């Protein structure tokens, strides 16, 4: 096995159990390693630190598999880690019976580059790094053994793979089904999951608890759901007894799925749902011009900043939509607003939203801080894992 030697001082983050080793930390690679191979990570003085996956094409040159320098990285390693991740979810009552569940959340489950989501009897796996890609067979086998699922589909078609020098890979790794849509039940609502063509692995599982919160809040309210995708928040608002739910998204296919989802739920009052294919930035202004107002507005936009380098541009975009939404809120109205940008942390996000409230001249109070559901845990040693942050605000 090759040895990756760090520059003096660069062992500090590894000792704090942070799993990423950037190119600037690496002094040299002793021996030969191909992309994805396991390497021994040592401090400049030779002190052993960790075992990691080598990613020569990426700025993140290596990602730690194990901080135990004696642990062998083999099929059994993945079996142990995946079984442990599945067991952690089973131990949490709010997750135990979920049909849609994130089983493996990458770094925060000790498996950099490995995402696995369960939808009923099917697991959808996404491998985003050279190390994860190399262990595909072991990962698929371990997922099958840990869950007993009949089918495993791979959705490794994300942009970030390019940074690792990897091509897109999609298809069945185990079993198969004829159609491209699965249906899961979430908080009592049936939702279709387009695992082959949808965003991520087909569904935003991270918002499960927050959608439930919307159901609690929606009774008799006029709701505006911006960036609705396949209608997760919209259907929960209807289930919660909203008076009217207006949902918008710029994607026609997403809206089509949203309407199919509504049809999957005959218990919901269809006549209260309105769907609009629109650009949220422009439409918030149009709604203002036409004098509309709402009692509950949800803003769950896509990632505006992939890294801290894009934080400025992202901040302007967040401010713009939050400002637009606040102008449309009736007195006493609620705003549920999110950022899933890694480059914008919770503190900065709160500042941006505070700036919007100031500009519209309204007092906004935090009712609740929101985050991803418990199957998207954040390892304290890896704060980057905390990508989703939200605020529930009540406006005067």
* Residue ranges binding ligand SAH (CB under 6 A): 204, 207, 227-230, 232-233, 248-251, 254, 279-281, 300-302
Please report how close the Cβ of residue 62 comes to ligand SAH at its closest, in angstroms: 31
Residues 165/35, Cβ–Cβ less than 8 Å: yes
Please report how close the Cβ of residue 292 comes to ligand SAH at its closest, in angstroms: 17
Q: Which of 249, 375 has the CB closer to ligand SAH?
A: 249
Please report how close the Cβ of residue 136 comes to ligand SAH at its closest, in angstroms: 27
Spell out the alpha helix ranges (H) of the chain. 12-15, 75-90, 93-96, 130-134, 136-147, 160-163, 208-217, 232-239, 252-263, 280-289, 311-328, 346-360
Q: What share of the chain is helix, strand, coil (3-state, %, to 5)?
A: 35, 30, 35
Q: Which of 324, 385 has the CB closer to ligand SAH?
A: 324
Contacts of 172 (CB under 8 A, 6+ apart): 151, 152, 153, 154
Catalytic residue, from 149, 226, 228, 340: name it. 340
Residues 250/294, Cβ–Cβ less than 8 Å: no
Please report how close the Cβ of residue 104 comes to ligand SAH at its closest, in angstroms: 20
CA angle 363, 282, 303 (to 5 degrees): 75
Q: Which of 109, 194 has the CB closer to ligand SAH?
A: 194
**Known active-site residue 149:** no
Q: In what order do the strands lie in the sheet with 26-30?
A: 20-22, 60-66, 48-54, 38-42, 3-6, 26-30
Q: Which one, of 274, 264, 265, 266, lies nearest residue 243 by Cα?
A: 274
Terminal-to-terminal C-alpha distance of the chain: 63
Packed helices 311-328 and 280-289: angle between N→C axes, nearest 10 degrees:
30
Please report how close the Cβ of residue 218 comes to ligand SAH at its closest, in angstroms: 14
Please report how close the Cβ of residue 133 comes to ligand SAH at its closest, in angstroms: 26
Q: Which of 77, 203 has the CB closer to ligand SAH?
A: 203
Q: Which of 61, 213 has the CB closer to ligand SAH?
A: 213
Q: Which of 147, 236 has the CB closer to ligand SAH?
A: 236
User: What secondary structure letter does DSSP report for 273?
Assistant: E
DSSP string, 233-245: HHHHHHHTT-SEE
195 φ/ψ angles, rounded to the nearest 5 degrees: -65, -25
Active-site residues: which are they?
340
């Amino acid at each position: 096995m090759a040895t990756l030697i760090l520059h003096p001082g660069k062992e500090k983050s590894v000792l704090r159990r942070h799993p990423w080793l950037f190119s600037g930390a690496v002094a040299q690679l002793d021996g030969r390693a191909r992309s994805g191979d396991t390497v021994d990570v040592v401090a400049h003085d030779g002190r052993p630190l960790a075992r990691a996956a080598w990613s020569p094409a990426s700025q993140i040159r290596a990602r730690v598999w194990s901080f135990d320098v004696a642990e062998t990285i083999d099929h059994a390693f993945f079996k142990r880690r995946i079984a442990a991740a599945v067991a952690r979810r089973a131990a949490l009552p709010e997750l135990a019976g979920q049909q849609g569940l994130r089983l493996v959340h990458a770094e925060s489950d000790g498996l950099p580059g490995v995402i696995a989501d369960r939808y009923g009897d099917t697991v959808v796996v996404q491998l985003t790094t050279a190390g994860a890609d190399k262990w595909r067979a072991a990962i698929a086998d371990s997922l099958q053994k840990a869950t007993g699922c009949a089918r495993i589909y791979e959705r490794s078609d994300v942009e970030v793979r390019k940074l690792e020098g990897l091509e897109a890979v999609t298809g069945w790794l185990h079993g198969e089904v004829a159609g491209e849509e699965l249906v899961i039940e979430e908080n009592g609502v049936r939702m279709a999951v387009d695992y082959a063509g949808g965003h991520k692995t087909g569904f935003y599982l991270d918002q499960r608890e927050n959608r439930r919160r919307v159901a609690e809040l929606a009774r008799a309210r006029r709701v505006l759901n911006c960036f609705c995708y396949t209608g997760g928040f919209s259907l929960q608002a209807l289930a919660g007894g909203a008076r009217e739910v207006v949902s918008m998204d710029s994607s026609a296919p997403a809206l089509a799925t949203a309407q199919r989802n509504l049809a999957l739920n005959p218990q919901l009052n269809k006549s209260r749902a309105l769907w609009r294919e629109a650009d949220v930035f422009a439409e918030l202004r149009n709604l203002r011009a036409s004098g509309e107002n709402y009692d509950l507005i949800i803003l769950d936009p896509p990632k505006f900043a992939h890294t801290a380098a894009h934080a400025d541009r992202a901040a302007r975009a967040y401010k713009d939509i939050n400002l637009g939404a606040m102008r449309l809120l009736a007195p006493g109205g609620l705003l549920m607003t999110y950022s899933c940008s890694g480059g914008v942390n919770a503190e900065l996000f709160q500042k941006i939203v505070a700036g919007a409230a100031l500009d519209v001249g309204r007092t906004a109070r935090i009712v609740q801080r929101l985050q991803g559901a418990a199957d998207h845990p954040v390892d304290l040693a890896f704060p980057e894992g905390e990508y989703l942050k939200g605020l529930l605000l009540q406006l005067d």
